[in-house]
Amino acid sequence: VDSQNLCDMGSCKNKKKKILVPIIASLLSFLVVLLLLIIFWRIKRKQNASKESPNEEGRTIESNNKQFTYAEVANMTNNFQTPIGKGGFGTVYLGTLKNGKQVAVKLLSASSSQGYNEFQNEVTLIAELLMRVHHRNLASFVGYSHDNNRMALVYEYMANGNLKSYISDRNIHPLSWEMRLKIAIDAAQGLEYLHHGCRPAIIHRDVKSANILLGENLDAKIADFGLSKGLPDDQTTHILTDVIGTTGYLDPEYRRSHNLNEKSDVYSFGIVLLELITGQPAIIKSMDHIHIMQYVGHYLKKGEVTSVIDEQMGGDFNLESVWKAIEISVACTRAMSTERVTMSEVLTGLKACLEMEMTRGPRDRANHVVEKMVGLQIDHSPDICSMDFELMTEPSGR
C-alpha cells in the first residue's frame, strides 16, 4: 500500500510540473514582450522630442530631415512666387514655414544638368552625416520633397544671398577689408569643421563663392552639399571615377589623378580668398577669360601688390594684412596637394590678418599705402609670382 501511495504522490508532482512549466513560460514571454514595448515606446518618445528641440541659435526647426509633400512646398513658397537665385540644380525660391521661419527652397528643374543624382547625394549625405553635425558656419538643412518626381531641397534662408553675387554688385555692396576677412574666417571655420571636426571627414568638392551664403549681418555659411563625399574613417584620400567641380575652382591635381582629399577643398578656398582680395571672379571674362591666378601672378611678378587689391576698398586697409592673405592664398593653391596648408592653418593665418587690420594705426590708411609699399619685402619665389597656375580644360562645369 505504501508503495502505491508513493507512486501516486510522484505522479501528482509530475502533473504539477507539467502545469507550472507552461504557465511560467507564458508569463516570462509576456514580460519580455512588455519590456520590448516599453523600450520601443521610450525610443519613439525621444525621437519625437528631438524633432522639436531648438537648434544652436535657439530657433526651432519643424523637424530634422523632414520630408515635405509637393503641396507643402508650393504652399510655403506661395506657389513659387519669389525667386531668389538660380543654379545648375534649378531655381531657388523664398519660402516661409508654418512657424514663420523663412527658408530657401531649391526646386529641381526638369532640364537640370545636375538633377536626380545630386539630389539623392545631398539628401543621403545630410541624412547620414550632416544631420549629426551642427556648426554655425554650415547652412542648416530643413527638409526635402520627393513627390511624383518633383524634387526640392529646403534650407535656412540667408538674407544677403551668396558671396559671388554680393561681390559682383560692386557699387551697391562695397566691402571693407575687415568685413572680407570676417567672411573668409567664417567660411574657413565651416570647412575646417567638415575636414577635422567630423568623423568621417567630409569633403565638400564644390567650394566657391556662389556656395558661401551671407546672413543679415554678413555672417557666412558653407552651403550646397550635392557633390560632397564622406571619407572612410581609415582613409585620407579617395579615388573617384568621375571628376566633377566648377570651372576656375577645380584642383588641377584632382583633375589629373582623380584622387580626392581635403586639400582639393583647400585649393578651391584659396581661389575664393583671391576673389575677396581682388574683387575679381575666378574666371575674368572682361580680360579674355583669364584665370584669377594669372591675373594676380601678372602683377605680383612686377611687384605691383596694390594693383591686385580691389580698388573698392579705397586703400583703407593694413597692407601687411592683405599681403599675408595673398600668401595664404598661394599656400592654398600650390600645385602639389601635399605642399598645401590645411584649413586649420588657413584659419590661424586669417585670424592673424584680422588682428593686424583691427589694430592698425592711422598711418596704415589710404594715404600711406604707397609709403608702406617701400618697406614691404615681396617674395619673388616661383610660387608667389606664377601662382602655380596650370591651364587646362576643366570637366563638368557648374
* All structural domains of the chain with their residue ranges: 66-156, 163-386
Torsion of CA 283, 285, 286, 292, to 10 degrees: 10
Amino acid, single-letter form, for residue 166: Y
Task: Return the higher-pLDDT residue of 289 and 228.
Answer: 289
Q: What residues act catalytically?
A: 206
Lowest mean pLDDT among 22-36, 217-231, 380-394: 380-394
Lowest mean pLDDT among 50-54, 206-210, 303-307: 50-54
Q: Which residues contact 53 (CB under 8 A, 6 or more apart)?
A: 60
The residue-averaged pLDDT of 178-195 equals 97
Amino acid, single-letter form, for residue 314: G
Known binding residues for ATP: 106
Instruction: Give me the pLDDT at residue 396, please.
Output: 44
- In angstroms, the CA 281 to CA 262 distance is 23
Cell output for 308: 591686385
Which tens digit of pLDDT belongs to each residue from 342-382?
A: 999 999 999 999 999 999 876 565 445 444 444 444 444 44
Cell output for 119: 539630389
Amino acid, single-letter form, for residue 165: S
CA neighbours closer than 13 Å in the CB half-sphere of residue 90:
21
Instruction: Give me the pLDDT at residue 367, please.
Output: 43
Instruction: Give me the pLDDT at residue 321, please.
Output: 96
pLDDT at 116 over 70: no
Which superfamily is assigned to 66-156 in CATH?
A: Phosphorylase Kinase; domain 1 (3.30.200.20)
Instruction: Give me the pLDDT at residue 34, please.
Output: 80
Instruction: Give me the pLDDT at residue 38, please.
Output: 83
- In angstroms, the CA 366 to CA 27 distance is 86
Known binding residues: 106
pLDDT at 217 over 90: yes
The SS3 call for residue 37 is: helix
Of 281, 211, 246, 285, nearest to 398 by C-alpha is: 246
The residue-averaged pLDDT of 250-258 equals 91
Torsion of CA 252, 321, 306, 282, to 10 degrees: 30
Task: Return the higher-pLDDT residue of 214 and 373.
Answer: 214
The residue-averaged pLDDT of 318-324 equals 94
Query: The CATH number of 163-386 is which of 1.10.510.10, 1.10.1740.10, 1.10.8.100, 1.20.1250.20?
Result: 1.10.510.10
- Helical packing angle, 319-332 and 262-278, nearest 10°: 150
Instruction: Give me the pLDDT at residue 259, please.
Output: 87
